[in-house]
Structure 1
Amino acid sequence: MTARFGHTELPDEQERALRRAVRLAWLTIAFLVTAVTGVYLVMGSSQAMKAAWMEDMLSFIPPISFLVAVRVTRRRPSARHPYGYHRAVAVGHLVAATALVAMGAFMVWDSGSGLVKAEHPPVGLMEVAGQPVWSGWLMIGVMAYTAVPPVLLGRAKMPLAEKLHDRVLYADADMNKADWMTAVGGIAGVVGIGLGLWWADAVAALFISGSILRDGVRNMRVAVSAIMDARAETYDGEGPHPLVRRIDAALGALPWVDKARSRVRDEGHVFHVEAFVVPVDGAPDLTELSRARELLCDLDWKVQDAVVVPVEELPEEFLPGLREETAGHDAS
């Protein structure tokens, strides 16, 4: 039986999901071009509008990172990259998160300083078709335009992110779903200026900046954890991936296996599995080990590669959580 590893092909269902995600990413970029242009043309001196414009500019990073990562992950493993290029997804996630944190922190400082200095942004009149129009109406109109499409795009991307186990796509969808708050914040700031509440603009800008910073910190935590070879988790980073228990259960059900425990590394879209098994009696032959490995690779499409290692007892130095789990089972 020939060992297979390093595959870059996706099952038909995931391949269809990936093609749809790519189309949504390009659609997002096209929408952002219009949104950034529109906000820039009407933002004037409003801090809230400036924060919204910066947020729209940052929104380019996740879909672009996703598109680049998709191309890179298609490469075959090489001598220099024997595990393949699936980690491009994690790199793209970290790049997006870093940009969000950096710009979010700067914008919080900029908006906060404007509030402390009690800056009064002027919103004057603009001539449209020969008629004087209050600039605030144009700002509100543009922000209303930017509110709905990102929410629809985010809702469309979220199930695809889960199906593909793609954290860059998830970060993009999560930001899109929250973009309506940016639009509402910008509108509130402009309305506040119109009502003579000079501080409303700075408060709205601070709200938008804080939202960007929060998204960045949350995504950076998950991205850094993945790159540091943390246990395989769900696409949203909310907990351990259920596939890990399925792997251990599948190996433990083999007739020649007494105990089995694995450590699973998240490579991006796919997982790399190192499984340790304690045989019932004596060492297993090559056929049994090869079939066990194929069992894992066929268990789920995310198992990109697997190594099955027979041992006399489960090694705590490679499975550091083993002692705590064993103690918990004994106590119960």
Structure 2
Amino acid sequence: MRRVVCAEFGGPEGLAVVEGAAPEPGPGEVLVEVAAAGVSFVDGLIVAGRYQLRPPLPFTPGSSVAGRVAARGPDVDGPAVGTPVVAALMDFGGYASHVVVPAALAVPVPDGVDPAVAASAMESYNTLVHAVTRRVTIAAGEWVVVLGAGGGIGLAALDVARGLGARVVGVASSEEKRAAATAAGAEAVLDYTDLKDGIRAATGGGADVVIDPVGGPASESALRALRAGGRFCVLGFASGEIPRLPANIVLLRNRTVIGVDWGDWAREVAGPAGNAELLADVLGRIARGELHPPRPATAPLDDAAEVLARYARRGVTGKVVLVP
């Protein structure tokens, strides 16, 4: 097998690809031959040691894989060898040609769903479906503003909100990303200039919901653009800056700030089995045409460091997967 190894926390340039024997699945486990490994902005934070989770060194990054079951350990009834599956890896290890996972977490991929789409959609679409089913309500006809609308989380937010009948405004930092937001169904697209006034003008008075995976100065501007009863959803801080949201602006007009942390919910609340159920739900929605994740760009395993560097400088539109 081949896998990417992080021997010490730091920049992605410290990652190395190593070769060794493929692991053997133990009781209750399956060996997955990886067809696509999802890559995310968070992966770069973990490699740098700047995320709330710090795995013991050395480790292999990556939290989502799709592929086929190559072998089963003892006491495993399914999925059968050869079954296309996708799995969320709570202990990382996805940047590899082969991964051992508990059989209960290997979720079959429905017919017609590309493995690269399954791997790349997991983090972003699990986050957004978790958000709209457990954290915030979005009604048909409401205005939803998505910051970072050209990234993986942002494009998923556009897709999920539109599926609920919302009217969506995408905010993105480049022409390429704004074009991607428009292609994903945004009724209007904005840059970050004069954001509060831009949102109010585009929505006819103010947003009902803001989805914010970016943070930084844009957060307060978007918060101020919420109409009465508006909901501000905090998903992350891709800008690298955690905003200090003024409590008086939250108080005024009965606004609400909501934290959305799919990873914590999956680890600490639902557990791996509950997260597998959510993943199966997301895949089913994709297979039925209710959600429309774009096919990601692909890169070889040897380019993992370069891909993470592109994510760090916010140079990725959509998503990228590694193909071992």
Q: What is the TM-score with the length of structure 1 in the denominator?
A: 0.19
Greater strand fraction, Structure 1 or Structure 2: 2
Q: What is the TM-score with the length of structure 2 in the denominator?
A: 0.20
Greater helix fraction, Structure 1 or Structure 2: 1
Q: Which structure is larger by alpha-carbon Rg, 1 or 2?
A: 1
